């Protein structure tokens, strides 16, 4: 299994049980800083549970999760809440607040967590929206008036508003057409690479093999709560693991 | 039917009854826990006053028309019914007082509670429920915003303030309806109408109604927001949560009314 010096995220002997049902089995793996790592796996493999452990929404039954050098279990509720500002997350269906316009959605974290003045917020929001390819005429549109791809862009702009160090993507290309999928993939790569001023680690939860192979630096394959393969993308393509091979052929 | 079959059926019935009781206790426990989270987060910064005013506007201002209509006609009907009963024993001058007391102690808070449970309680469950199924609540939590503090606290505080205010509006418009029908249609002497009203009506009657309405507002909003947070499984779940919020909101108002009445008549 791959190990890294000073990783962004580290799972140490992590087991998660819900009653008698074991979801994650003794996970031991690191996610390196400033890389794009994809957790690949079938539905029900435990990917979302793993993501919730990174965010500290769930805690392990056994073992520890260390994120940016902090053991999440040792943080108080308030500290954890503050710590989550290190994360940006793009949800599967963007999870935009449906009563807010695109502009208000992106402004929301800035209004909640910064002391910026209205004008400064407006300028920053416009910059963010333009950087993800949203045109000015769509700034005042409600999520219901935006296409799936545009919603993802706005969701990404909102996730980036507080300049996170870790970006989490939950099934970012599921249900999108090929052109929008390519656009989202480009955005993920741009987001990961266009931040030379700060650290940016990207974790993608997906079962989209093609997209994953195009944009990831490393791929971990999760099966029934166990990481059965974790390799750089070039080696992952040649994995001899039969389950991975089956998945790659899909 | 042999004895073994009867025993098996009885066993199943007892098991079902037991399961229902346990579910009920679990539900009460979960609502109590949710209520304690509301109190905890109510006193935590930041205080989002703009959300409180938005909810006050939604629960209070947007319920005003229906409260005015319901209050007016309730007062008119009550005055008419009371008049024909009281006329038989020649105490029709008491119509205004009786209607005012009935409205202030019972009908204004209870009917306002039922209307708000149907309108705002259901809306709370539907709004929060649809936010849950579309991951908007997860988005709040990931940003480090407590969803109970952001969504439930302003709604519950707003309902606790708005329902007694609506109940007072109901009371006044109901009395106006009673006066209108009593003195203009049923031709009760206006001076007697007001003099008896002054003789029999006390501030404690109004206070009783206001206290009840506050409790109803609080409970309706706790139930509405609680069922919103419990929503699962898409649109069907939102519908179910909304339905449960209305049913339990209304039932709670009626049950609580009895216990509050028993308590308040002793202390006021």
Produce one character per residue of B14-32: b if its CB has 16 or more CB atoms within 10 Å, e if not: eeeeeeeeeeeeeeeeebe
pLDDT of residue A1: 66
Mean pLDDT, residues B173-178 taken together = 96
pTM: 0.86
pLDDT tens column, B188-205? 888 989 999 888 989 999
Percent with pLDDT over 70 in chain A = 99
pLDDT of residue B73: 97
Contact with chain A for residue B143, Cβ under 8 A: yes
Mean pLDDT, residues B202-217 taken together = 94
Question: Which of A133, A164, A195 is the last residue before a domain boundary?
Answer: A164
DSSP-derived letter for residue A33 is: T
Total beta-carbon pairs less than 8 A apart between chain A and chain B: 46
**Co-location of A156 and A175 in the same domain:** no
pLDDT of residue A125: 95
pLDDT of residue A224: 87
Half-sphere exposure of A219 (CA within 13 A, CB side): 25
**Co-location of A187 and A247 in the same domain:** yes
The CA–CA distances, whole Å, from A73 to A58, A65, A80, A203 equal: 10, 8, 9, 20
pLDDT above 90: residue B113: yes
pLDDT above 90: residue A44: no
Question: Which of A164, A195, A217 is the last residue before a domain boundary?
Answer: A164
Half-sphere exposure of A127 (CA within 13 A, CB side): 8
**Co-location of A135 and A186 in the same domain:** no
Could you give the maximum distance between any two Cα atoms of chain A, in Å? 56
Percent with pLDDT over 70 in chain B = 100
Residue A189 is part of a domain; what is its CATH number?
3.40.50.300
Assign B149 a pLDDT band (cuts: 50, 70, 90): very high
Q: Which residue of B has its CA nearest to A164?
A: B143
Give residue limits of the domains in chain B.
1-43, 49-267
Please give the Cα distance from B67 to B172 (Å, whole number). Answer: 11
**Co-location of A61 and A107 in the same domain:** no
pLDDT of residue A196: 66
Portion 98-127 of A in contact with B at CB < 8 A: 98, 108-109, 112-113
pLDDT above 80: residue A175: no
**Co-location of A99 and A220 in the same domain:** no
In a domain, A78, yes or no: no
In a domain, A20, yes or no: yes
Question: Which of A164, A182, A199 is the last residue before a domain boundary?
Answer: A164
Percent with pLDDT over 90 in chain B = 78
Could you give the maximum distance between any two Cα atoms of chain B, in Å? 76
**Co-location of A217 and A231 in the same domain:** yes
Q: What is the number of domains present in chain A? A: 2
Portion 180-239 of A in contact with B at CB < 8 A: none
- Give the domain extent around A58: 1-68+167-250
Contact with chain B for residue A86, Cβ under 8 A: no
Contact with chain B for residue A81, Cβ under 8 A: yes
**Co-location of A178 and A241 in the same domain:** yes
């Amino acid at each position: 299994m791959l190990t890294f010096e000073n990783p962004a995220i580290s799972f140490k002997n992590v087991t998660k049980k819900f009653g008698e049902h074991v979801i994650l089995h003794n996970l031991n793996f690191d996610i390196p800083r400033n890389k794009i790592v994809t957790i690949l796996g079938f539905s029900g493999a435990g990917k979302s549970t793993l993501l919730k452990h990174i965010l500290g929404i769930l805690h392990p039954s056994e073992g520890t999760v260390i994120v940016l050098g902090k053991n999440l279990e040792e943080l108080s509720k308030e500290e954890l809440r503050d710590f989550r500002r290190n994360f940006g997350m793009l949800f599967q269906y963007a999870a935009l607040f449906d009563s807010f316009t695109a502009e208000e959605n992106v402004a929301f974290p800035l209004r909640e967590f910064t002391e910026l003045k209205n004008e400064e917020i407006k300028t920053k929001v416009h910059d963010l929206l333009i950087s993800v390819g949203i045109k000015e005429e769509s700034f005042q549109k409600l999520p219901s008036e935006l296409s799936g791809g545009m919603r993802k862009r706005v969701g990404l702009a909102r996730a980036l508003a507080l300049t996170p160090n870790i970006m989490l993507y939950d099934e970012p290309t599921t249900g999108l057409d090929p052109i929008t999928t390519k656009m989202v993939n480009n955005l993920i790569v741009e987001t990961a690479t266009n931040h030379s001023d700060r650290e940016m680690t990207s974790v993608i939860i997906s079962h989209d093999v093609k997209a994953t192979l195009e944009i990831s630096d490393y791929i971990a394959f999760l099966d029934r709560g166990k990481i059965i393969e974790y390799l750089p993308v070039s080696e992952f393509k040649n994995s001899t693991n039969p389950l991975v091979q089956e998945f790659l052929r899909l | 039917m042999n004895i073994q079959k009867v025993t098996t059926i009885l066993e199943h019935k007892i098991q079902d009854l037991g399961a229902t009781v346990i579910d009920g206790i679990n539900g009460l426990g979960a609502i109590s826990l949710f209520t304690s989270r509301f109190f905890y987060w109510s006193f935590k910064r930041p205080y989002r006053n703009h959300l409180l005013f938005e909810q006050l506007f939604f629960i209070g201002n947007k319920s005003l028309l229906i409260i005015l209509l319901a209050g007016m006609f309730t007062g008119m009907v009550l005055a008419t019914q009371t008049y024909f009963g009281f006329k038989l024993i020649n105490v029709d001058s008491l119509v205004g007082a009786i209607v005012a007391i009935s409205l202030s102690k019972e009908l204004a808070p209870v009917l306002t509670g039922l209307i708000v449970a149907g309108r705002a309680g259901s809306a709370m469950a539907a709004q929060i429920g649809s936010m849950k199924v579309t991951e908007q609540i997860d988005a709040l939590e990931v940003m480090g915003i407590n969803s109970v503090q952001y969504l439930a606290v302003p709604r519950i505080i707003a309902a606790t303030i708005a329902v007694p205010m609506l109940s007072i509006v109901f009371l006044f418009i109901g009395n106006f309806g009673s006066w209108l029908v009593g003195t203009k249609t049923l031709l009760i002497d206006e001076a007697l109408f007001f003099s008896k009203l002054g003789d029999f009506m006390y501030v404690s009657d109004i206070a009783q109604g206001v206290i009840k309405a506050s409790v109803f507002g609080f409970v309706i909003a706790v139930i509405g927001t609680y069922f919103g947070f419990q929503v699962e499984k898409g649109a069907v779940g939102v519908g179910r949560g909304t339905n449960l919020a209305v049913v339990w909101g209304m039932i709670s108002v009626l049950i609580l009314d009895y216990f509050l009445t028993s308590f308040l008549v002793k202390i006021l």
